[in-house]
Amino acid sequence: MSDHAQHGPGGHGKDHVPHILPLSTYFKTWGALMVLTVITVGASYLNFGPGNLVLAMLIATAKAATVALVFMHLYYDHKFHGVIFVSSLVFLGIFIAFTMFDTETRGRAEAMEGEHPANIKDPFGGTASEAAAKAKLKPAAAPAHH
């Protein structure tokens, strides 16, 4: 590794120059985060029903965005780093949403099956109640074969 000198610092172009933010930016950011924390704690003592969760998440997201944009320099950084960060949230969203497609909608078919029990002996023949249900759903459906 070390014998590879032709790309020593001389040949490497300019040094990295840091992007320094003024102190006041940091303190303002900190102030905003403190205020938002107080607001969210305060709001939790009031009852908005489901609104509590929404409000708490909105405030948390505002805080998270502030931290990411200023403290983590995302606002001043390459856009691609922002894309990376946001993509993690998108895929997390997919994960939670698709899992809940399942957990929130279980047990619907059982109720329908209960109303229209299948005839085990003649599963494709259809029972009277099923035929009625079919007729209700699809009036033009062809009669079942026997």
Partner 1 sequence: MSRSITVDEVAAAPDSGGTDYINATKGVWSWLTTVDHKRIGIMYLVSVLTAFALGGFFALLLRLELLTPKHTIMSADTYNQAFTLHGVVMVFLFIIPSIPGALGNFFLPIMIGAKDVAFPRLNLLSLYLYWIGAIFALSSILSSGLDTGWTFYVPYSSTTNTAVVNVTLGAFVLGFSSILTGLNFIVTLHKLRAPGVGWFKMPLFLWGLYATSIVQILATPVLGITLLLLVFERTLHIGIFDPALGGDPVLFQHFFWFYSHPAVYIMILPGMGIISELIAVHAHRKVFGYKAIAFSSVAIALVGFLVWGHHMFVAGQSELASTIFSFLTFLVAIPSGVKVFNWIGTLWGGSISFKAPMLFALSFLFLFTIGGLTGVFLGMLSVDMHLHDTYFVVAHFHYVMMGGTVTAFVGGLHHWWPKMTGRMYSEKLAVLSCALYFIGFNATFFTQFLMGSRGMPRRYYNYLDQFQPLHAFSTFGSWILGAAFLVMLYNLLNSLKNGERAPKNPWGGLSLEWETASPPVTENFVHVPHVEHGPYDYAATVARRAS
Partner 2 sequence: MSAPAEIVEGQPSAERGSPQFEVAHHFDSADTQFDAGRMGVWLFLVTEILLFGGLFCTFAVFRSWYFEDFVEAHHHLNKVMGGANTLVLIGSSLTMALAVRAAQMTDKKQTTRMLVITLLCAATFLVVKYFEYSAKFEHGLLPGAYFHGEGFQGTHAGVFFAIYFLMTGVHGLHVLIGMGLITWMLIRNLRGDFSSRYYAPVENVGLYWHLVDLVWIYLFPLLYLVG
Residue 81 binding partner per list partner 1, partner 2, none, with a CB distance cut-off of 5 to 8 Å that depends on partner kind = partner 2
Residues, the chain, total? Answer: 146
CB atoms < 10 A from the CB of 54, how many?
11
Radius of gyration of the chain (CA): 31
Binding site for partner 1 (CB under 8 A): 1, 4, 7, 11-13, 80, 87-88, 91, 94-95, 98-99, 101-109
Binding site for partner 2 (CB under 8 A): 1-2, 4-5, 7-10, 12-21, 23, 26-27, 29-30, 33-34, 37, 40-41, 43-44, 52-53, 56-57, 59-60, 63-64, 67-68, 70-72, 77-78, 80-81, 84-85, 87-89, 91-92, 95-96, 99-100, 103-104
Q: Secondary structure of 107-131 in the HEC alphabet? A: CHHHHHHHHCCCCCCCCCCCCHHHH
